[in-house]
Structure 1
Amino acid sequence: MSARTVERIVRSHPSQDGDGVKISRIHDFGGGLDPFLMLDELGSDSPDDYIGGFPPHPHRGIQTLTYVIHGGLSHEDQLGHSSTIGVGDAQWMHTGHGIIHSEMPLTDSQGLHAFQLWLNLPARDKLSPATYRDVRAADMPRIEVPGAELIALGGEWHGHDKESGEQRISGPLDALAGRGAVAHVRLAAGGSLILEQTAPTLLVYVFEGELIVGNDAIARGQLARLNKGRHVQLASTPGAQALVLAGHPHGEPIAHYGPFVMNTREELDQALHDYREGTLTN
């Protein structure tokens, strides 16, 4: 049984996007997280940090996955989709050829805490039709063992411990790029969870407490890329929450400019031209 260990750790950095929304961001457009590109964490109890939201803006060539811990977000796009997600809900966009959308924040007693993940589309799908879907918390299956819980947003997850045996679940988002899988893990103080995950890319982002993987501690605001292997044990002394991301690299060139991610500079120039001419979403 080969166990995964930490290959490297990356710390999130403060940034802002949209109408001045303050975020913590990790990104790699050089292929280091392939098929993932970027992870933004929105988290504040001060409305001034996010109240401007994300007014209408374009995308091409990616998928986005937005997941809410507290508060909510309202989505609208040129395809006619209009919906609101709240605590534990997610929304997924396959931007393909092009989409123009807005996301506006909602708050609860704890303010707003949410994530947006970018996944790269393979070259064959970058100009495919755009689609949208939202998923409610009640539709997300869970792995539960003493002191630990995994909530599957998408992809396949296998977890086990000595008392509960093996549990296998699949999240409702089954069309994530790069055969992607995304899960939310909660560990109580002293809790642990063993996952079987053979995808070449396996990432863990800690957003509460501290996680131990092998001999390495992963602190809040850090993302760990794990070495190849079959099993990984996540443990925490104080308790922790994390997002776990798994996927298969495309291994293709990445060309990035703002909200567009393509394979070549020429394709980026075409995306900018199409947006200016009003044909991005045709």
Structure 2
Amino acid sequence: MTQRSLENIIRSYPSSDGDGVKIRRLALFNQRDADPFLMLDELVSDDEADYMGGFPPHPHRGMETLTYLRKGALIHKDHMGNRGEIRSGGAQWMSAGRGIIHSEMPELDQGGLHGFQLWINLPAKDKMSAPDYRDVPQSEIPVVALNTGGEVRVLAGDWQIEGQQVTGPLDKLAANASYLDVSLTEGETLTLPVTSGKRAIAYVYKGQLATGQSLPEKPLLIYSTQGEELVFKAESDANFLVLTGDPILEPVAHYGPFVMNTHEEIEQAIKDYNSGQFGR
């Protein structure tokens, strides 16, 4: 099989969102080689002041979120009456569809918060679908121990990992998106089969991968869509997310929490929210 080449490196940057929550952000709305992925935020701090303000009620339309916590706890509430919580090792999936108003508020759990929120685009045909939501506890997420000491947590998708066929619990993600959280020890190599034509990206949130290039702190690596293998080698002990999905190849119009195909659709989303018709 043909190994995929590294085609682009995107720098993450410190930012804040919600009620002053400190994050590290990758904004990908205009990054066509990241399609169908729109944004990735890393939430990481051991200081309560950095995150306890949380994300008070706010709207979304036209996209999905997948929130995954390695440490900490978040409580989700939305205008449809859903209430759920995830704790260390768990995940929350939400499809905003035609509109949802929700909040995500931290709780103290083991001290500190470390997690990720991924935004996945919805194709035009699904942007005005009914919103949906699901919690996945840590106990439902498979963990594959690697032969050389690392491990892979499988949140979504069908994967072949060192001869094992493993399927993640999140099976309704837009663009057939798949999601892994990988830990490799120094010098270890992981080879993952992946369907040619699928988008493949990796976010290195700890340590270094060997790429033959100088990498910035916490980079996003974008791989070519041609080839049937992703090969990762740890230059030092490393932790990283691997995301794959089908490119949607549609225009992206983005304003705050709304992601549509045209500016007119964005204006309509704002009107619907302001008039109280949001999500209906």
Q: Is the 8 A contact 1:209 1:219 kept in 2?
A: no
1:145 matched to which residue of 2?
146
1:180 matched to which residue of 2?
177
Shift of residue 23, structure 1, vs aligned partner: 0.7
Shift of residue 79, structure 1, vs aligned partner: 0.9
Q: For 2:267, what is the secondary structure of its paired residue? A: helix
1:39 matched to which residue of 2?
40
Spell out the pairing of 1:1-282 with structure 2 (5 A cutoff): 1-30=1-30, 31-146=32-147, 147-160=149-162, 166-198=163-195, 199-213=197-211, 215-216=212-213, 220-227=217-224, 228-282=226-280
For structure 1, the residue ranges without an aligned partner over 5 or more in a row are 161-165
Q: Is the 8 A contact 1:98 1:130 kept in 2?
A: yes
Query: Going by fraction, where is strand more abundant, 1 or 2?
Result: 1
Q: Is the 8 A contact 1:154 1:182 kept in 2?
A: yes
Shift of residue 235, structure 1, vs aligned partner: 1.6
Q: For 1:278, what is the secondary structure of its paired residue? A: coil
Q: Is the 8 A contact 1:148 1:192 kept in 2?
A: no
Whole-angstrom distance in 2 between the partners of 1:90 and 1:115 = 9
RMSD of aligned C-alpha atoms? 1.4
* Bigger shift: residues 199-208 or 122-131: 199-208
Shift of residue 189, structure 1, vs aligned partner: 2.8
Q: Is the 8 A contact 2:251 2:261 kept in 1?
A: yes
Whole-angstrom distance in 2 between the partners of 1:220 and 1:110 = 24
Q: For 1:85, what is the secondary structure of its paired residue? A: strand
Give the percent of matched residue pairs that are identical in Structure 1 and Structure 2.
48
Q: For 2:33, what is the secondary structure of its paired residue? A: coil
Query: 1:203-238: CA deviations, max 9, x gaps?
Result: 00011111124x346564110001231112212142
Segments ≥4 residues shifted beyond 6 Å = none
Q: Is the 8 A contact 1:153 1:183 kept in 2?
A: yes
TM-score by length of 1: 0.94
Whole-angstrom distance in 2 between the partners of 1:219 and 1:149 = 24
* Bigger shift: residues 93-102 or 190-199: 190-199
Shift of residue 110, structure 1, vs aligned partner: 4.4
- Residues 172 and 109 (structure 1 numbering): CA distance in 2 closer, same or farther, change over 3 Å? closer
Query: 1:79-136: CA deviations, max 9, x gaps?
Result: 1111110111000001101000000112334411111000000000000000100111
- Residues 217 and 191 (structure 1 numbering): CA distance in 2 closer, same or farther, change over 3 Å? farther
Whole-angstrom distance in 1 between the partners of 2:85 and 2:205 = 23
Q: For 1:273, what is the secondary structure of its paired residue? A: helix
Shift of residue 159, structure 1, vs aligned partner: 2.0
